[in-house]
Amino acid sequence: MVKMLIAVEDQEFYDHWGINPRRILVVAFENLLKMKIEAGASTITQQLARMLFLNREQTYTRKIKEALTAIKLERTYSKNEILETYLNLYYFHRAYGIAAAASVFFNKKPSELTINDCAILLGMLKGPTINSPFNNPDKSLQARNRVLYAYYKYGGISKDQYESLKDQPLDVNPQPEEVSGAPYFTEYIRQYIENTYGTDKLYNGGLKVYTTLDLPLQQSAEEAMTRHLDSLQRMVEARHDSYDPNYTFVVMKDGVRTHIYKRIEGAAISIDNKTGDILAMVGGHDFDKTQFNRATQALRQPGSTFKPFVYTAAIDNGWTPDSILFDNSIVLNIPGSPDWRPRNFDGEYMGRMTIREGLKLSRNMIAIKLLLKIRPELVVFYAQQMGITSPLRPVPSLAIGTSEVHLDEITSAYTVFPNGGIRIQPRAILKIVDRYGNILEDNSAIKKEEVLNEQTAYIMVNMLQSVLEPGGTGAGTRYRGFARPAGGKTGTSDNFCDTWFIGFTPQITTGVWMGFDDKTSIGHNMTGAVNALPVWTQIMLTAHRDLPQEDFPIPPGIVMADVCEESGKLATVHCPTIMREIFTEATVPTDSCAVHTRGGPYTSDRYRNVLPDTTSGSIRF
């Protein structure tokens, strides 16, 4: 390899002192005649100087700098050290350095390379991409033979050896590629680096990128998603024949029209609450078929997963979990549009209820009425403060999630609840280092911002825990074995197009979405609780397998009180139904119930505890 390199690039390498004056004069005269820089006279040392300190700009100024640097290198290092550094740094398409190149192209160690192997690699010196055997086998073969000829003329091989070697076919044995884990996450990183540092730095910078990915969790998320999506796909295909235009499309195959079923897709993302680290990211069913990342690129209606932002704005502005609203029908007059008659998922109305129950049971009418009382603009403000960056329309339907968002942004916004009102900027990259050890980016510092009162955040955690209790729309996760303290919210958009579950523990927040890319309905009653919740549960079981159990810390200023379910005031012995509820010191009732002045004693059979058990994660009735 060393002799062949000298034969091809710099035959007088051991005789010059960094530059070759005779060669420079010959090449300079040739370039002057042609009025442009075409041929080069760089020695191996000059090429190394360019690799280490300069660029490939074709100017006389750069050439002068290159020559001066080469002279300095020759005075500082031995000839063999210069050759060693050159071969360890050179970019051989997909590989930096001879050891990596030997492995990538031939699955060998450098000491195992044959003459032809060396010639193939050195043929890439004039064009790593163009002369790569992976990209252009014909050009690679021609370049190899030019190197062999130069080596023959140098005296490295005989004429008979040259004739024999040049007639051999191009022979490469690429290192078996490991199947890359987390393809959507990897592509997300690649796009970021390309957009931030440019294509040249991405592919030629020899970068080391340290990410936040938790590979075992990623693999579990991919497996859970694939398994559930495949099951849903079979269900869809069983319910709809292959000619149904809503669920199939037509392709031409061998001149014959063939109906192919649309593919149901899914996405998931898990975030470490304390650091913002993205631990897992699934962007679709099959990266080979579609690289569109539904975790970061797809705008979808969040449905009821948006409701917590409505309740957050209300709680932060004086409402309490026991505040009463009526779940009944309303008609809203919208100027320039037909009257809007919203309804609940089940088409039924349940009358008087607390807003805690409204959230737990995901009653659309309660969320809409609450939004109207506090104003849509206020809800938009809180959602944006917590991390929603997609445009939100301040209209009544915002309460039931009609403004589209990305899965990653709404999942990140949910982390504010378990973080006690602190928003932490999500991160996928911890550090980027170039091949010289220079740190291009260091994200070790966690970016925090207080965006919500900690008492409000805790009350929302407590209310969202109710969603996972028996009767709540997220109770299915408990039946599937996830018993840790947790809160979350299901979501289903109109006509069962988008199905969601976003939930959290004190340590991790995970969001899951499923649906068709073209917003075709998955099917009647295909809700977030049916589709997204099982995948969320599996991901979270894996995520917490080796984590200690933690409880949501109760901040100062939070109090609990027994209140009359009907009046919302402090309960007396005469109140027929009493419930224990959570308040701040500023919102806890101070007056006793004046509605019930007579009745039996205060007994436990009239007591209804609406709070989740915050000490063990189990469910209390």
Confidence of residue 598 (pLDDT cuts 50, 70, 90): low
pLDDT in tens, 399-440: 999 999 999 999 999 999 999 999 999 999 999 998 888 999
Q: Residue 258: what are its φ and ψ, rounded to 5°?
A: -125, 135
- 196-200, 499-503, 588-592, 615-619 — which is least confidently predicted? 615-619
User: In the predicted model, is pLDDT for residue 618 greater than 90?
Assistant: no
Q: What three-state secondary structure class fits 476?
A: helix
C-alpha closest to that of 101 among 173, 170, 48: 173
Distance, CA of 263 to CA of 161 (rounded, Å):
57
Higher-pLDDT residue of 611 and 88 is 88
Number of neighbours of residue 533 by Cβ within 10 angstroms? 26
23 vs 12: CA distance, rounded Å? 10
Banded pLDDT at 600 (limits 50, 70, 90): very low
In angstroms, the first-to-last Cα distance of the chain is 77
pLDDT digits (tens, 9 = 90+) for 319-374: 999 999 999 999 998 787 888 999 999 999 999 999 999 999 999 999 999 999 99
Q: What is the pLDDT of residue 371?
A: 97
Helices (H), 499-613: 532-543
- pLDDT tens for 446-459 read 999 999 999 999 99
What domains can you pick out in the chain, each with its CATH number?
2-166 (1.10.3810.10), 258-321+369-426+448-543 (3.40.710.10), 558-609 (no CATH)
Hey, which residues are catalytic here? 9, 304
- pLDDT given for residue 35 in this prediction: 54
Question: What's the pLDDT tens digit per position in 478-513?
Answer: 999 999 999 999 999 988 999 999 999 999 999 999
pTM: 0.79
Asked if 204 and 515 count as a contact pair (C-beta separation under 8 A), the reply is no
